[in-house]
């Protein structure tokens, strides 16, 4: 980028334009192994500033890459060299809480935990709770349709967004969705933005739905014998009436041991663990529901006495540091996010273990078990030929079993070449046509999400 371009950028926007090496380095990476070199970092101060920024980028033909907490795992917020990183982290504010509507309006840079604290006094909470909730932002949740343990009962971010204010790649501001509880006025345009990874527009305001905070949220950690089919466990729990379950998670023995080494033990360190959350009205109700679950698990061969967390958030906080524990143990690695129908869970786990054995790389596995969503971590350099082969085999295994290459982390740069295999050519062309309407100059987060164009001829 020419210096003249940066000078004109500073004249075009009212927010800070940062060019220091430290600011550029920080904005050039996320939680993946990827690294970019932005030419500048812009911190817009309001939606009007975002409109001005997009107008400048269209004229200058410069890419814009939105970022908040920088917790994405597939390079969604890593800018191409010479791009402009758009920093929304300063928009960490809860603008309005509407208890009567079970809703809150927030800035896209609002950290999940900030939102939770703001609505707790009203007896409400925001159900999506990814492992990075201490640092990840609502705008990031929208960009990747993020989930978390409680998605077992409550679903992903898409189910909890009511309205979005967005500046499209054309520079047009638009409000999508409605504050009403339901709507049938045409196709769901808001749903196009959720999961679009900042490739269609820059989100400037979010109204989220909230849920009543259960009086009791109990966490359970239960050792699982190695010969128990995990798919059978997930199915049995799903068919257990009046269980109050809002999360059904899994951590393998290796990952549990590493959490303990980090000082964040979640239960037995010599066995794989089933992690559950029970919602209840009172202590007696919690005991009754715990008993129902214990009886259901006994029928699958899981009979260990559970470790009880009176506050389920303590369990999820510790479980959320699995990535930190593995960063310390094995460093950069293949970190995947695949899902299959619950009935095919054991087939996918077997396929992952086969990949690990044949490629001779250690496998660490944790999962949103109740949804058939697995996070396999392979201890291999993600930039190596072996790493590329492991990733490709993992994604292929999920697709062969009727699943998806991304359950909640998004596509980013790392998996875009696999998107066409899942969606098919007609759907990919449809996506590209939406992209063309919303971002005709291709300035918003290029090189992400959409499959590379086929070679001419």
Domains of the chain: 3-87 (3.30.43.10), 94-212 (3.30.465.10), 217-248+266-308 (3.30.70), 332-411 (3.30.70.2740)
pLDDT in tens, 252-270: 999 999 999 999 999 998 9
% residues pLDDT > 70 (the chain)? 98
User: Based on the number of CB atoms within 10 Å of its own CB, is 40 exposed (0-12), middle (13-18) or buried (19 or more)?
Assistant: buried
Reported confidence tier of residue 5, pLDDT bands at 50, 70, 90: confident
**CA-CA distance, 73 to 244, in Å (whole number)?**
31
State mean pLDDT over 431-436: 96
Buried b (16+ CB within 10 A) or exposed e, 168-178: bbbeebeebbe
CA angle 420, 421, 426 (to 5 degrees): 50
**CA-CA distance, 101 to 213, in Å (whole number)?**
15
Instruction: Look at residue 452 in the predicted model and tell me its pLDDT.
Output: 84
Examine the pLDDT at 324 and tell me if it is beyond 70. yes
Reported confidence tier of residue 454, pLDDT bands at 50, 70, 90: low
User: Based on the number of CB atoms within 10 Å of its own CB, is 185 exposed (0-12), middle (13-18) or buried (19 or more)?
Assistant: exposed
- Structural contact between residues 217 and 312, judged by C-beta atoms closer than 8 angstroms: yes
Which residues face 86 on adjacent strands? 42, 66
Reported confidence tier of residue 285, pLDDT bands at 50, 70, 90: very high
Read off the tokens for 434. 């939406």
Which residues face 248 on adjacent strands? 276
Examine the pLDDT at 17 and tell me if it is beyond 80. yes
Reported confidence tier of residue 217, pLDDT bands at 50, 70, 90: very high
**CA dist list (Å): 294 to 216, 238, 281:** 18, 13, 19
Mean pLDDT, rounded, of the chain: 95
**CA-CA distance, 267 to 259, in Å (whole number)?**
10
State mean pLDDT over 175-197: 94
Short-list 54, 67, 61, 60, CA closest to 24: 67
State mean pLDDT over 167-196: 95
Examine the pLDDT at 436 and tell me if it is beyond 60. yes
pLDDT in tens, 369-415: 999 999 999 999 999 999 999 999 999 999 999 999 999 999 999 99
Examine the pLDDT at 309 and tell me if it is beyond 50. yes
- Structural contact between residues 143 and 197, judged by C-beta atoms closer than 8 angstroms: yes
Reported confidence tier of residue 455, pLDDT bands at 50, 70, 90: low
Instruction: List all residues 6 or more positions away from 189 whose beta carbon is below 8 Å from its beta carbon.
Output: 176
pLDDT in tens, 331-372: 999 999 999 999 999 999 999 999 999 999 999 999 999 999
**CA-CA distance, 106 to 114, in Å (whole number)?**
10
Which residues face 211 on adjacent strands? 125
Examine the pLDDT at 282 and tell me if it is beyond 60. yes
pLDDT in tens, 133-179: 899 999 999 999 999 999 999 999 999 999 999 999 999 999 999 99
- Taking residue 332's Cβ as centre, other Cβ atoms within 10 Å add up to 15
pLDDT in tens, 90-107: 999 999 999 999 999 999
- For 393, phi and psi rounded to 5 degrees? -65, -35
- Please report the sign of the dihedral spanned by the C-alpha atoms of residue 319, residue 324, residue 330, residue 334: positive
- Structural contact between residues 167 and 50, judged by C-beta atoms closer than 8 angstroms: yes
Reported confidence tier of residue 1, pLDDT bands at 50, 70, 90: very low
Examine the pLDDT at 3 and tell me if it is beyond 80. no
Examine the pLDDT at 186 and tell me if it is beyond 90. no
3-state class of 359 per DSSP?
Answer: helix
**CA-CA distance, 139 to 131, in Å (whole number)?**
16
Instruction: Look at residue 2 in the predicted model and tell me its pLDDT.
Output: 54
């Amino acid at each position: 980028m020419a210096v003249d371009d940066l000078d004109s950028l500073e004249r075009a926007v009212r927010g800070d334009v940062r060019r220091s090496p430290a600011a550029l380095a920080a904005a050039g990476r996320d939680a993946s192994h990827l690294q970019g070199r932005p030419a500048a970092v812009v911190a817009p101060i309001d939606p009007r500033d975002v409109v001005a920024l997009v107008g400048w980028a269209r004229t200058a033909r410069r890419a814009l890459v939105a970022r908040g907490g920088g917790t994405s795992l597939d390079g969604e917020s890593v800018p191409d060299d010479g791009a402009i990183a758009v920093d929304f982290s300063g928009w960490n504010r809860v603008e309005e809480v509407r208890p009567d509507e079970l809703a809150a309006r927030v800035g896209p840079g609002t950290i999940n935990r900030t939102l939770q604290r703001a609505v707790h006094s009203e007896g409400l909470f925001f159900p999506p709770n990814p492992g990075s909730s201490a640092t990840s932002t609502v705008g990031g949740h929208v960009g990747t349709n993020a989930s978390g343990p409680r998605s077992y009962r409550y679903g992903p971010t898409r189910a909890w967004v009511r309205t979005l204010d967005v500046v499209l790649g054309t520079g047009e501001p638009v409000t999508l969705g409605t504050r009403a509880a339901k709507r049938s006025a045409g196709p769901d345009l808001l749903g196009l933005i959720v999961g679009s990874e900042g490739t269609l527009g820059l989100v400037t305001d979010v109204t989220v739905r909230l849920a009543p905070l259960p009086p009791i949220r109990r966490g359970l950690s239960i050792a699982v014998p190695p010969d128990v089919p995990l798919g059978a466990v997930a199915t049995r729990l799903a068919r257990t009436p009046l269980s109050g379950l809002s999360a059904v998670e899994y951590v393998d023995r290796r990952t549990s041991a590493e959490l303990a080494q980090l000082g964040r033990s979640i239960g037995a360190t010599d066995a794989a663990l089933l992690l559950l959350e029970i919602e209840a009205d009172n202590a007696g109700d919690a005991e009754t529901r715990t008993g129902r679950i214990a009886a259901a698990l006994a029928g699958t061969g899981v009979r260990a006495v559970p470790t009880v967390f009176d506050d389920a958030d303590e369990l999820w906080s510790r479980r959320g540091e699995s990535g930190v524990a593995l960063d310390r143990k094995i460093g950069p690695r293949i970190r995947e996010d695949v899902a299959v129908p619950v009935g095919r869970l054991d087939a996918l786990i077997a396929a992952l273990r086969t990949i690990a054995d044949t490629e001779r790389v250690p496998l660490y596995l944790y999962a949103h078990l109740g949804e058939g969503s697995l996070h396999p971590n392979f201890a291999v350099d993600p930039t190596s030929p072996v790493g590329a082969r492991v990733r490709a085999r993992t994604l292929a295994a999920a697709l062969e079993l009727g699943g998806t290459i991304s359950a909640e982390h998004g596509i980013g740069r790392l998996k875009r070449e696999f998107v066409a295999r899942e969606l098919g050519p007609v759907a990919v062309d449809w996506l590209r046509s939406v992209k063309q309407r919303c971002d005709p100059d291709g300035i918003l987060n290029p090189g992400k999400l959409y499959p590379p164009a086929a070679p001419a001829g």
